[in-house]
Amino acid sequence: AQSVTQPDIHITVSEGASLELRCNYSYGATPYLFWYVQSPGQGLQLLLKYFSGDTLVQGIKGFEAEFKRSQSSFNLRKPSVHWSDAAEYFCAVGGNFGNEKLTFGTGTRLTIIP
């Protein structure tokens, strides 16, 4: 069965500091991996996706993520956070051919301090 673990429930960083959100997955085949962001009262916005190819993927809003098969990880990074990045971030696996179901992690809430 597929699963996603986001070990950090809540992270606080200073504005301008770098950010790394952790994600570990379990999947029987080559995974499709995603990061989504959710602001209060909103739906989920797709930040980036990994299907195949280059293991470092670029997304919107200056985010990037690196797929590491050996570690079953897909960590999200940003070199310098902005106050507007405060939100909840979800890692997800699935959504590939024949398995459109997305399995989400429990999310990481990001707080930005001035």
Partner 1 sequence: KAGVTQTPRYLIKTRGQQVTLSCSPISGHRSVSWYQQTPGQGLQFLFEYFSETQRNKGNFPGRFSGRQFSNSRSEMNVSTLELGDSALYLCASSEGPGQPQHFGDGTRLSIL
Binding site for partner 1 (CB under 8 A): 32, 34, 36, 41-46, 49, 51, 90, 95-107
Would you say 46 or 113 has its CB closer to partner 1?
46
Would you say 30 or 80 has its CB closer to partner 1?
30
Q: Say if CB 30 and CB 16 are below 8 A apart.
A: no
d(CA 105, CA 83): 23
CB of 40 to partner 1, least distance (A): 11
CB of 28 to partner 1, least distance (A): 16
100 contacts: CB under 8 Å, gap ≥ 6: 94
CB environment 87-112: b (16+ within 10 A), e (fewer): bbbbbbbbbbeeeeebbbbebbebeb
Would you say 18 or 42 has its CB closer to partner 1?
42
Would you say 15 or 102 has its CB closer to partner 1?
102
CB of 75 to partner 1, least distance (A): 19
CB of 30 to partner 1, least distance (A): 11
